[in-house]
Amino acid sequence: MRTTLPKILCIGCGIIMLLQFFVPLEFVQRDMLQWVNDSAIVVATFGLAIGLASLVHVHSARIRRRARGWGFSVVTLACAVVVAVIGLLKSDWGPVVAHSQRYDILPNGVTAGVIEVTHTLFGYQTETAFTNTLAAAALVPLQQRTVPMFDWFYNYIMYPLMSTVFALLAFYMMTAAYRAMRAKSWEAGLLLAAALIVLLGQVPVDQFVRLPAIDGMSLFEWLKLRILDYPNTAAKRSIIIGVALGGLATSIKILTGIEKPYLGGRG
């Protein structure tokens, strides 16, 4: 039963997914597909929960064993907890950093109303007190702008960190270009020439250097497109077709129960 039920589920779901590409019946196209999709999204959502559980398990074990670099595991778990708590808290909550007042004056010189502004770490909230109804009509209150805490953390911590780590690649790539991209053989030279053409074709270098134009494009741009359109497309197509045939064979083996990767190869 431990192996039969997963096999039945896998083959059944696979056949349902297959049918809706080939059988134009409304029951297959709508109801069966809805059921599989709903189930898949629920499974994927539970996948996130399993991922979180796995993260906690792996890192708590590292902390218990005092494994090398266990301090990073503490930081990882602390960050996970802090972000989860922030996500669950009321979105506009935040420590008050300042109060301010703004008076609006009508064209006739009469004070029309007062706007109380409460600045929090995550934005500001406004409360408007009007002196009379006429003034209320004349006064345009500040647009309320409260930044959810989760967004604040994302914009000012997560975003800069991810961008910075990725930006470091530029420095490594530049040093690698100097050290590794060398024409050590005829084939390497050919590859290098193609890389140089694509690099030059990607930027408007013709604005600073006079270059011949072909089909309304600069020489390097024209050459770049020829490389992308012919040798690249030919190579990519053969890879895509090869991968597709391999995927088809594997799918047939899974659908017929010959291959069972979901059971770890057992059963």
Partner 1 sequence: MMTLLVQWFDRNYRRVIYVLVVLCVLVPAFLTVRLRIKPAGATQGLFNAVEGIPAARHAAITNLEAELAHTITNQEKLLSRLQRLRQHTNGVLLLSLDFDPSSAPELTPQAEIILRHAFMRGIAVVAVIVSTPVGAQLAQSIVDRAARETQGRYGVKLAGRDYVYLGFRPGYFNLIMQMGEDISRAFASDYAGNRLETLPMMQGIKNLHDIDLVAVITGFVGVPEAWMQVAKTKYNRPLGMGMTAVSVADYTPYLHSKQLVGLLPGMRGAAEYEMALDAPGAGTRGMLAQLASHVLIIVLIALGNVLFFLQRRNRS
Q: How far is the CB of 33 from partner 1 (least distance, A)?
A: 6
Distances (CA, A) of 79 to 90, 181, 197, 204: 19, 40, 45, 44
Q: How far is the CB of 242 from partner 1 (least distance, A)?
A: 13
Task: Choose, by CB under 8 A, the member of 111, 163, 250, 256 that binds partner 1.
Answer: 163
Tokens for 205, please give them.
């270098």
Residue (of 4, 33, 41, 39) closest to 17 by Cα position: 33
Q: Does 29 bind partner 1 (CB under 8 A)?
A: yes
Rounded to a whole number of angstroms, the CA Rg of the chain reads: 31
Nearer to partner 1, 67 or 89 (CB): 89
Q: How far is the CB of 203 from partner 1 (least distance, A)?
A: 4
Task: Choose, by CB under 8 A, the member of 93, 191, 229, 250 that binds partner 1.
Answer: 229
Task: Choose, by CB under 8 A, the member of 173, 245, 249, 252 that binds partner 1.
Answer: 173
Q: Which residues contact 201 (CB under 8 A, 6 or more apart)?
A: 218, 220, 221, 222, 223, 224, 225
C-alpha span between 256 and 3 (Å, rounded): 14
Nearer to partner 1, 135 or 194 (CB): 194
CA dihedral 87→88→90→93, nearest 10 degrees, is -50
C-alpha span between 248 and 239 (Å, rounded): 14
Of 61-69, 73-81, 125-133, 172-180, the segment contacting partner 1 by CB under 8 A is 172-180
Q: Does 40 bind partner 1 (CB under 8 A)?
A: yes
Q: Please report, in angstroms and rounded to a whole number, the separation of the first and last CA atoms in the chain.
A: 10
Q: Does 232 bind partner 1 (CB under 8 A)?
A: yes
Q: Does 207 bind partner 1 (CB under 8 A)?
A: yes
C-alpha span between 65 and 42 (Å, rounded): 35
Amino acid at 225: L
User: For the window 45-74, what string marks contact with partner 1 as x by the rule CB under 8 A?
Assistant: x-xx--------------------------
Binding site for partner 1 (CB under 8 A): 21, 29-30, 33-34, 36-38, 40-41, 43-45, 47-48, 150-151, 154-155, 158-160, 162-163, 165-167, 170-171, 173-175, 177-179, 181-184, 192, 195-196, 199-200, 202-205, 207, 216-217, 221, 225, 228-229, 232-233, 236-237, 240
